[in-house]
Structure 1
Amino acid sequence: MKTSSPGKVLLGFALVFGFCLNGNAQLLKKLGKRAERAAERTIERRVEKETAEKTDQALDSILEPGSKGKQQTPRTPQPNDGGQGNQGNQTDGPPNSGTPAPSGPKTIQVYSKFDYVPGDKQMFFDDFSYDFIGDFPSKWNTNAGGELVTLGDSPQKWLELKSGYNIYYIPDVPQLPEEYTIEFDLAAVGLDRKTSSTAKVAITLSDDAQFKPGTNNAYAEIPFCQYAAIGVTVQNNINGRREIRSTVKADLRDVVLNNPHISIAVNKLRFRLWVNEVKYIDVPRLVAPGAVIHTVKFLANGFQDGKEKVFITNLKVAEGGVDLRRKLISEGKISTNGILFDSGSANIQPQSMGIIRQISQVLMQEGSMNLKIVGHTDSDGSDESNLQLSKDRAEAVKNALVNVYGIGADRLVSEGKGESEPVGDNTTTDGKAQNRRVEFIRQ
């Protein structure tokens, strides 16, 4: 048997040892870079959080009269409640408890530059208030099934979107005009670091009225993945052929844990999408020219069955979404139900700042213009409480114009009319939502 000399053996050990050292050094170098990136990301998040909290404290005293920057328990978003319903607060709970993840102290983001303006002629609204828990909502259709639930102690009702390919949830929205807006709230439970990169909710505008994508469609996907930053995807099909597909970089991992509010504006071919106050999509020619959009469809995909669940509520579709500034200048009066308030209070919901911002721009341009701000409510509650609530809400809008945008207080007066001048049927959800409105009248 052939044996190796001691010198060769030592040389072999040296080579192996050197290789290991070199490999370990490379591994440590890679780990070091990852740790460095993780540290940078953590610092950025903390700085953003602290900056937002300081800004919120300043804005809270304006948008939440009497709060003086006090931290409050977060509410489940009520985008079109705006009235007198007895909506409870969102409760805290761990990710897998069946309760939306806690968002921490209630905050108001920097919505002063938010440029979303909801349509002023409501076509559809559903918060499921007239449906029973355990039932499928009466104003929706699906090819899969589902039921309404509550999350935690809040009475707000949510529809679970079952996850799977070609499972659609279709509200009874009438044929859509050329210009319209869509708003809704999402919630998710059971998400963790293993939540798939394919976990998404898609919103589709389609010329097909049933359960197919349609020959002409446009859609966007909201990601729920937790282990990586998956961007917002937008795509279309024109006459059955895909023309656009792109993914905009976005880290929504924290956002989707805290009941995000989604806003969409369609102006003929143009498609824009906001998540909370941030605009992620603005494609000038996404919707197929000449296409008749029959439906809005929701589809959830990639969520782990039995563990991860996603829900929707407070869907509002409205015709319009056009520039209110020109209308106020030309007609001297506008009415909008897009300025939203917390239930039973005069606290302005921050996503309403797009409208208030446009009003401020008119007043800045038209230096001689003075405005009367008039608040209206639905008929829930007593006449006296509704009258006072409408006055408080009109005054809150005035305060926002003065304190956020620097409009002179002497150019504004506020007034409340309670439930005395309805424009819709107070026995229906849609009618009540139309009656909860704010008017701006040139003086």
Structure 2
Amino acid sequence: MSKNKKTALLAFVIFSSCASYAQIRINDPGRVVERQAENRANRKVDQAVDKGFDKVEEGIGNLFKKKEKKPKEETAGKTQKESQPVESSNENNTSQTNSVDPTNEESTGGKTGKPSLKSYSKFDFIPGEKIVAVEDFSQDAVGDFPSKWNTNSSGEIVTIEGTEGKWLLLGPSGVFYPEFVSKLPENFTFEFNLATTSGFSYYSGFLRTIFAQVTNAGKDFVSWQWYDGNKFKGLEVGLHPKDAGGVQGMSAFNVFAETPGQSMMKNEKSFPAFHVPEHNVVKVSIWRQKTRLRLYVDDYKVWDLPRAFNPETSYNFIGFSTHTYHDEADKYFVSNLRLAVGAPDTRSKLITEGKFSTTGILFDVNSANIKPESYGVLKEIASVLTENAAVRVQIIGHTDADGDDAANLTLSKKRSESVKEALFKDFGIVKTRLETDGKGEGVPAAPNTTAEGKASNRRVEFVKI
């Protein structure tokens, strides 16, 4: 069997496996017969495939490729580029990046290179002060449903070619929630990476991120359906891939909330035409400040609603909900979830207390390259320094304890230098006001025994001198 045929056959096996989750609601009797015929044919093909393969390779990279490939002569000479890996929590010296599947210009709209810090110049998101939950599924085996989650549907841990770490594949018509989230204060941020399969159908439903007040999550959501949002106290943010036919990106957004705010917030917004993320992967950032909701997708601010959250609701639940997928190949995936609480007060802590520490300045894996989504935090620090022209600070980098001690120390010093350079180059803070140092893993802020502790230790401190 040729390599191409084997790859296609493996992809079909994976598609068939994913499709087995579907719970299709059919109203047309004629469609019932058609569906039964399809299922019978699929079962026969699956049986034949199973005889030839005892083990299917991990990963679902083929789901992210175009359904119809153009002939080689049509794509010859097109520029290729590397995908940017998604960062996992184990990020100092032990992370490994999966093999990269280059993306051609057709699927990226001609966009090349990774986003720069300046490309996020309107990104004012600042993560919460204290990390309380991190989920990268590193403790879960591929093929399993994550041990710290619950659902009334189905799902499994997978890998995606060209991205870092593991993802949770979300099955149809259900709710998926981490059982370790039990309280949400009036100030918090929630971030996650979201991916979809290419060719995602326009008719497949929104992915909804739920913030709610529940008494018993397992009981309240056991028979939950996508249209039941008005049956509980909460708020939903809906996201959907851009257009039909495989165009990448997230474009349709809805916010559904408790009355009286519900009707006010039912509308849609779209990405600018030039925004085409790679691999159908976007970064979603949600920021609550009392009643205010801010929603960002990558660097694009979708919503800034001053009265979205109900101050009378005691939110204690975060989850995701899906509708039945219109096409069985359609899937949503989530990864790298991060919940932080508290409203950071950069000005007071740096000027009055003399020290400000942040986990909001992020770096590429094993690198001192600053991720562009760090722009909001850097801008806030630069504003404080601009307003207080006599203040000088020392920038101190810290890492978690993964990897070699000496390498972590070197990395932390390089990262503090990168922050200094960014403050000078992008915000005009003169270098004579900035000193740098790095402590590696030597001064932990939390135990390095949990994902949350490690994330808290990967930080940058600013100390007034």
Q: Shorter-normalised TM-score: what interval?
A: 0.7 to 0.9
Tell me if 1:310 matches 2:310: no
| Aligned with 2:132 (options 106, 123, 134) | 123
Deviation of residue 87 (structure 1)? 3.2
Q: Name the counterpart of 1:326.
A: 348
Partner of 2:153: 144
Specify which of 209, 213, 221 is matched with residue 203 of structure 1: 209
Residue aligning to 1:184? 192
**1:20-55 deviation per Cα after TM superposition (whole angstroms, max 9, x unaligned):** xxxxxxxxxxxxxxxxxxxxxxxxxxxxxxxxxxxx
Bigger Cα Rg? 1
Amino acid aligned to 1:207? Q
Q: Post-superposition shift, 1:421?
A: 0.8
Deviations 1:215-240 (Å, cap 9, x if unpaired)? 3211211121423995321121149x
Amino acid at match of 2:161: G
Q: 1:222 to 1:267 in 2, by over 3 A?
A: same
Q: TM-score, normalised by structure 1?
A: 0.76
Conserved 8 A contact 2:141-2:157: yes
Say whether 1:231 aligns with 2:240: no
Q: Taking every aligned residue pair, what percent have the same amino acid on both sides?
A: 37
Which of 125, 150, 171 is the aligned partner of 1:162? 171
Residues 422-431 or 296-305, more deviating: 296-305
CA displacement at 1:303 relative to structure 2? 3.1
Alignment of 1:29-428 (within 5 A): 73-78=82-87, 82-88=91-97, 91-92=100-101, 104-108=112-116, 110-152=119-161, 154=163, 156-164=165-173, 167-171=174-178, 172-191=180-199, 195-208=201-214, 209-210=216-217, 211=221, 213=229, 215-227=232-244, 231-238=252-259, 242=262, 244-251=264-271, 254-255=276-277, 257-301=279-323, 303-428=325-450
Secondary structure of 2:199's match? coil
Counterpart amino acid of 1:187?
A: A
Q: CA deviation at 1:89?
A: 5.2
Corresponding position of 1:15? none
1:417 deviates by 0.1
> d(CA) in 2 for partners of 1:399 and 1:332?
22
Q: C-alpha distance in 2, partners of 1:102/1:422?
A: 43
Aligned partner letter, 2:367? S
The CA deviation at 1:113 is 3.2
In structure 1, C-alpha distance between the alignment counterparts of 2:109 and 2:132, rounded to whole Å = 32
Q: 1:73 to 1:363 in 2, by over 3 A?
A: same
Amino acid at match of 2:387: Q
AA in 2 matched with 1:224? P
In structure 2, C-alpha distance between the alignment counterparts of 1:233 and 1:304, rounded to whole Å: 19
Shift in alpha-carbon separation, 1:290–1:83, aligned structure 2, 3 A: farther
1:224-260 deviations in Å (ceiling 9; x for gaps): 1423995321121149x84533224213783485310
Preserved contact between residue 108 and residue 276 of structure 2 (Cα < 8 Å):
no
TM-score normalized by the length of structure 2: 0.73
Partner of 2:39: none
Report the AA paired with residue 223 of structure 1: H
Aligned to 1:21: none
Q: Quick check: 2:142–2:157 contact (8 Å CA) kept in 1?
A: yes
Q: Residue 12 of structure 2 corresponds to which residue in structure 1? A: none
Report the residue type matching 1:307 in the other structure. Answer: A
Judge conservation of contact 2:86–2:164 (CA < 8 Å) in 1.
Answer: no
The superposition leaves residues 191-237 of structure 1 with CA deviations (integer Å, 9 ceiling, x where unpaired) of: 25xx2154321111100252254532112111214239953211211
**How far apart are the structure 2 equivalents of 1:370 and 1:82?**
30
Secondary structure in structure 2 of the residue aligned to 1:125? strand
The answer on whether the counterparts of 1:100 and 1:258 sit within 8 Å (CA) in structure 2 is no
User: Secondary structure at 1:231's aligned position in 2?
Assistant: strand
Q: After TM superposition, which residue ranges in structure 1, 4 or more long, deviate above 6 angstroms?
A: 99-103
Change (3 A) 1:293 1:103: farther
Give the secondary-structure state (helix, strand or coil) at the position aligned to 2:119.
coil
Aligned CA distance change for structure 1 residues 117 and 230 (closer, same or farther; 3 Å): closer
User: Partners in 1 of 2:111 and 2:211 — Cα distance?
Assistant: 31
Three-state SS of the structure 1 residue aligned to 2:365 is coil
How many residues align? The count is: 365
AA aligned opposite 1:120: E
Asked if 2 retains the 8 angstrom alpha-carbon contact of 1:376 and 1:417, the reply is yes
Structure 1 CA distance for aligned equivalents of residues 141 and 111 of structure 2: 28
Distance 2:172 2:434 in 1: 50
Q: CA RMSD in A?
A: 2.8
Letter of the 1:119 counterpart: G
